[in-house]
Amino acid sequence: MRRLGKRWGRELSRVEFAVEEVPEVEPWFDGPVPLGRTVPGEGGRPVRIVVFRRPVEARAAGDQELGRLIRDLLVEEIADLLGLSPESVDPSYDE
């Protein structure tokens, strides 16, 4: 996030980043467990990008992959929020 913050600091100044253990899903939910979510800001609250720790850890095979998975997740959420491609947000996204 430090590197992305340097590049997109002004655009992300009203964005809050958080880590939660697991997402809340309905019992009948049938699909892959979300790794993250962007929560719209309402009532003067900032937009919030949340990373779900346990699903991310379960999907990664080691620390290096965990770092890449978190980076890719944040880049994708930021890109969606700003209406840009992930490669525009972080040129190293595809590496």
Whether 85 has a pLDDT exceeding 80, the answer reads yes
Domains of the chain, CATH where assigned: 2-89 (3.30.2010.20)
Whether 56 has a pLDDT exceeding 90, the answer reads yes
pLDDT value for 2: 84
Of all residues in the chain, the percent with pLDDT exceeding 90 is: 72
pLDDT value for 61: 93
pLDDT value for 3: 85
Contact in structure between 69 and 59 (CB atoms under 8 Å) = yes
CA dihedral 67, 70, 76, 82 (to 10 degrees): -100
Q: What percent helix, strand, coil does the chain show, rounded to 5?
A: 40, 15, 45
Could you tell me the pLDDT band of residue 28, with boundaries at 50, 70 and 90? confident
Q: What is the mean pLDDT of residues 11-16?
A: 92
